[in-house]
């Protein structure tokens, strides 16, 4: 991870209380342009962010792995889904399949590349979810991701700073 990425995480950690307070308000009454604010900040963050110098999501958390993901990955690896489960997966407290540990077994720790990139789970494709519709519905998840993903950290600092404008 670069110093800039570490600084982004630190800035969000420092502003954590005000970010959470703002998210609480938005949960009750989201501004009409909330998605647009998030999406603009997401675009700006990822224009500069190089995931290959970071890899922190794949190093520290697991995506949820749906049946379709399991089948696609197993086919690509030429193993049976059951063998993939035995080798790498566990069921979490919500009954979802996740990788058994972190870092992800498919992450190359040297260069942060995903060895199954074309066949990666849907949740990996959608991470870090700051370009989704109805951001008001995933504010707690976004607050959690701000401590993992420097891009999300930048996004939440940006959008909550912007939220001080009249709504
Ligand atoms: S499958 Fe690839 S993208 Fe998904 S967590 Fe593992 S290394 Fe990261
Ligand atoms: S999505 Fe976020 S945490 Fe994952 S590699 Fe990119 S910047 Fe890092």
Instruction: With H, G, I as helix, E, B as strand and everything else as coil, classify residue 66.
Output: coil
Is 54 a pocket residue for ligand 2 (Cβ < 6 Å)? yes
Nearest CA to ligand 1 atom 2: 114
In this predicted model, what pLDDT tens digit does every residue of 28-45 receive, in sequence order?
999 999 999 999 999 999
Confidence class for position 161, pLDDT limits 50, 70, 90: confident
In this predicted model, what pLDDT tens digit does every residue of 102-151 receive, in sequence order?
999 999 999 999 999 999 999 999 999 999 999 999 999 999 999 999 99
Q: What is the pTM of this model?
A: 0.91
| CA–CA gap between residue 112 and residue 54 (Å, rounded) | 7
Q: Which residues pair with 99 in a beta bridge?
A: 89
| Cβ proximity of 97 and 65 under 8 Å | yes
Mean pLDDT of 46-50: 95
Pocket test for ligand 1, best of 56, 60, 106, 148 (most atoms within 8 A of CB): 106
Structure-block tokens of residue 134: 């109805």
Nearest CA to ligand 1 atom 4: 124
| CA–CA gap between residue 122 and residue 66 (Å, rounded) | 8
């Amino acid at each position: 991870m670069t110093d800039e990425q570490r600084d982004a995480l630190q800035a969000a950690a420092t502003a954590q209380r005000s970010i959470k307070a703002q998210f609480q308000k938005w949960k009750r009454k989201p501004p009409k342009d909330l998605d647009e604010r998030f999406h603009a900040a997401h675009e700006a963050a990822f224009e500069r962010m190089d995931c290959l110098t970071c890899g922190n999501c794949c190093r520290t958390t697991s995506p949820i792995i749906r049946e379709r993901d399991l089948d696609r990955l197993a086919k690509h690896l030429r193993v049976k889904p059951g063998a993939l489960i035995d080798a790498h997966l566990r069921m979490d407290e919500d009954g979802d399949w996740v990788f058994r540990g972190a870092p992800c077994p498919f992450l190359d720790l040297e260069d942060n590349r995903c060895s199954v990139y074309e066949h990666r789970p849907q949740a990996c494709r959608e991470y870090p979810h700051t370009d989704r519709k109805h951001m008001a519905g995933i504010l707690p998840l976004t607050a959690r991701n701000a401590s993992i993903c420097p891009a999300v950290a930048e996004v939440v600092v940006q959008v909550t700073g912007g939220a001080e404008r009249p709504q």
